[in-house]
């Protein structure tokens, strides 16, 4: 290669070199200025250059050396500064950035509180699948095929198979508990349920229920009433009263719906209780003998009561939330209001 071209190429190499890794910079120094380095060797070559070109060549090699040395110095300076800066910037006494805490969802919180109230009087918690078959959701609970009571709950069916449904109530869990346990049975069953309903401020196609089931010898309607009264006082306070109205469910006989006195107006009447002074919170009744028979429990020996409540309804009553959709939107501005609970 022509000598000037070689000088030009080396000059460019030195110019474009950049690294702030100390060992890379040292490699660079050895490559050009070490004992056998490129520039060092060029000084040795001076002897072989034609005398009339020697002076210029010597000056060029000297310039390269200066250029390489200043490059090394410049890079070492950067390395040094970085070290100083990173040590300076490291303040071990500084408090760490705070980690934003999440909050428990109000539905989870209320579910927990309801379970706790019943656990205190000897109930245990049971769960079941959200995708159910017709037997567990309907038939075993005394809903015969084609029975109009099935229309009380607009059901989501799974694809082509009408035997598979999204459970419409947590009563399917009490069936599973009775299938697998002998009385006495005392369970509380929280879960998500699904109904094919239009989503509005008052209704949603997904919501949560808690089912209760108590089966033993000589269980009476009065036991049920007393248990539910205990629950209401535990949950809402001793000033709240209850009222039972006759109702109908295929799986309980007799059946009732239970209202609590409106905690917002104290029973005087407001728009939340639709000026009645009462808010409906659950359905209940004595387990129908047909259901016990379906579960191979002898109705002459055992009796029991069951109840089911909507958790959203109760949560709304406690926190005065008017729109049920808020529970499903996961808007942080809504959820963060429940931090303290």
The answer to whether the CB of 142 falls within 8 A of the CB of 108 is no
Binds ligand PHE (CB under 6 A): choice among 249, 278, 302, 327: 249
**First CA to last CA across the chain, in angstroms?**
82
**Residue 212: CB minimum distance to ligand PHE, A:** 7
Find the shortest distance in angstroms from Cβ 306 to ligand PHE: 4
Binding part of the chain for ligand PHE, among 18-26, 258-266, 283-291, 322-330 by CB under 6 A, reads 283-291
Q: Does 306 bind ligand PHE (CB under 6 A)?
A: yes
Q: What is the 3-state secondary structure (H, E, C) of 51-92?
A: HHHHHHHHHHHHHHHHHHHHHHHHHHHHHHHHHHHHHHHCCC
Q: Which is nearer to ligand PHE, 190 or 308 (CB)?
A: 308
Q: Which stretch binds ligand PHE (CB under 6 A): 35-43, 108-116, 159-167, 277-285?
A: 277-285
CB of 324 to ligand PHE, least distance (A): 16
CA quadruple 95, 97, 102, 103: dihedral sign: positive
Q: Quick check: 207 binds ligand PHE (CB under 6 A)?
A: no
Among 283, 286, 303, 313, binds ligand PHE (CB under 6 A): 283
Rounded CA-CA distance 268/262 in Å is 8
Residues numbered 144-183 forming contacts with ligand PHE, rule: CB under 6 A? 169, 171
64 vs 250, beta carbon nearer ligand PHE: 250
252 lies in the site for ligand PHE, by CB under 6 A: yes
* Stretch binding ligand PHE (CB under 6 A), from 10-18, 23-31, 270-278, 303-311: 303-311
Which range, of 15-23, 96-104, 183-191, 300-308, touches ligand PHE by CB under 6 A? Answer: 300-308
Contact between residue 295 and residue 213 where contact means Cβ atoms under 8 Å apart:
no
Cα angle 102-108-112, degrees, rounded to a multiple of 5: 120
Q: What are phi and psi of 190, to 5 degrees?
A: -85, 155
CB of 239 to ligand PHE, least distance (A): 26
Which residue of 284, 292, 314, 324 would you call a contact of ligand PHE, by CB under 6 A?
284
When the beta carbons of 136 and 169 are compared against ligand PHE, the nearer one is 169
Query: CA torsion angle for 243, 246, 250, 253 (degrees, to 10)?
Result: 90
**Which residues lie below 8 Å from residue 290, measured CB to CB, with a gap of 6+?**
142
Is 307 one of the binding residues for ligand PHE (CB under 6 A)? yes
Contact 137, 152 (CB under 8 A): no
Strand (E) positions, the chain?
Answer: 124-125, 131-133, 157-158, 161-166, 185-194, 206-216, 242-249, 252-261, 278-287, 303-310
Binding track, positions 223-242, relative to ligand PHE; x by CB under 6 A = --------------------
Residues found near ligand PHE in the complex (CB under 6 A): 169, 171, 211, 249, 252, 283-285, 306-308
């Amino acid at each position: 290669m022509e000598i000037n071209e070689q000088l030009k190429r080396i000059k460019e190499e030195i110019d474009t070199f950049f690294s702030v890794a100390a060992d890379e910079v040292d490699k660079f120094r050895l490559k050009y200025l070490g004992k056998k380095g490129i520039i060092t060797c060029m000084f040795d070559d001076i002897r072989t250059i034609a005398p009339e070109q020697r002076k210029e060549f010597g000056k060029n090699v000297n310039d390269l050396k200066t250029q390489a040395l200043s490059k090394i110095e410049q890079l070492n300076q950067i390395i040094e500064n970085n070290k100083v800066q990173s040590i300076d910037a490291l303040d071990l006494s500084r408090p760490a950035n705070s980690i934003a805490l999440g909050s428990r969802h109000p539905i989870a919180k209320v579910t927990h509180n309801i379970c706790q109230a019943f656990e205190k009087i000897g109930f245990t918690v049971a769960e079941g699948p959200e995708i159910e078959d017709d037997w567990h959701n309907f038939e075993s609970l005394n809903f015969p095929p084609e029975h109009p009571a099935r229309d009380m709950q607009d059901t989501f069916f799974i694809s082509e198979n009408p035997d598979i449904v999204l459970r419409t109530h947590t009563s399917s869990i009490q069936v599973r508990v009775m299938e697998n346990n002998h009385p006495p049975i005392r369970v509380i069953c929280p879960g998500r349920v699904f109904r094919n309903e239009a989503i509005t401020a008052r209704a949603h196609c997904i919501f949560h229920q808690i089912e209760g089931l108590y089966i033993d010898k000589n269980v009476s309607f009065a036991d049920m009433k007393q248990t539910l009264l205990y629950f209401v006082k535990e949950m809402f306070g001793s000033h709240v009263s209850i009222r039972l109205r006759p109702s109908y469910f295929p799986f309980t006989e007799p059946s009732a719906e239970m209202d609590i006195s409106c905690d917002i107006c104290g029973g005087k009447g407001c728009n939340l209780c639709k000026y009645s002074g009462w808010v409906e919170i659950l359905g209940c009744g004595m387990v129908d003998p047909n259901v016990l028979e379906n579960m191979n429990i002898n109705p002459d020996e055992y009796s029991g009561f069951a109840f089911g409540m909507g958790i959203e309804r109760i949560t709304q009553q406690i926190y005065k939330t008017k729109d049920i959709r808020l529970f499903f939107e996961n808007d942080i501005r809504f959820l963060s209001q429940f931090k303290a609970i």
